[in-house]
Amino acid sequence: MDRGERLALALSSFLLVLFLSSAVFAVVHYDVGLPTCITSMEPFDEGEVIEHAEDRYEVHMLAMKWQFDPEEVELPVGATADFYLASDDVMHGFQILGTNVNLMAVPGAVNYARVRFDEPGEYRVVCHEYCGSEHHEMMGWIIVE
Ligand code: CUA
């Protein structure tokens, strides 16, 4: 093995360790959760907000041309919400600005993410996947107060 190969091996090993350490740090320190496809739940055909406790909510969010159902969700400060996302027609995006929720609404499937809202505010929800002529109008709100 010549000097260049040893250097390349050392550098790539270092980058691999750096990448894995960063991933572990993000999970442990920032409580980063990976978006998950739920296989045990049938796609639903209407949106719903279910209150399980004062600070625990379940939101069934349905994406469709060109809106979200429900269009607005009101939650108290400190609430943890489990978002289940389905699509009524084509692929849509679902991003809650100011949080780490960023999912795809896939026809025939349910995707999932959990988020806790510690700060009051109006969190805009946007569709980030081009889904037709009114894609730019497709948005919603999470109101936390
Ligand atoms: Cu829905 Cu873009």
The pLDDT of residue 68: 97
Q: Is 22 left (phi over 0), alpha (psi -120 to 50) or beta?
A: alpha
Which atom of ligand 1 is found nearest the CA of 136? 2
Q: How far is it, in rounded angstroms, from Cα 45 to Cα 64?
A: 10
Which atom of ligand 1 is found nearest the CA of 105? 1
Cα 93 to ligand 1 centre (Å):
6
Task: Report pLDDT digits (tens) over 14-55.
Answer: 999 999 999 889 888 877 766 677 888 899 999 999 999 999
Q: How far is it, in rounded angstroms, from Cα 135 to Cα 24?
A: 36
Q: Checking DSSP bridges between strand 72-75 and strand 139-144, what pairing results, if any?
A: parallel
The pLDDT of residue 8: 96
Q: How far is CA 1 from the centre of its chain?
A: 46
The pLDDT of residue 37: 79
Cα 27 to ligand 1 centre (Å):
29
Task: Report pLDDT digits (tens) over 96-128.
Answer: 999 989 999 999 999 999 999 999 999 999 999
Domain coordinates in residue numbering, the chain: 1-32, 36-144
Topology classification of domain 36-144 = Immunoglobulin-like (2.60.40)
Which atom of ligand 1 is found nearest the CA of 129? 2
Cα 11 to ligand 1 centre (Å):
41
Is the confidence at residue 82, as pLDDT, over 90?
yes
Ligand 1 atom 1: residue of nearest CA: 92
Give the binding-site residues of ligand 1, using a 6 Å CB cut-off: 66, 92-93, 127, 129-131, 135, 138
DSSP secondary structure string, 69-133?
ESSEEEE-TTEEEEEEEEESSS-EEEEETTSS-EEEE-BT-EEEEEEEE-S-EEEEEE--S--ST
DSSP helix/strand/coil, 140: strand
Which atom of ligand 1 is found nearest the CA of 91? 1
The pLDDT of residue 136: 96
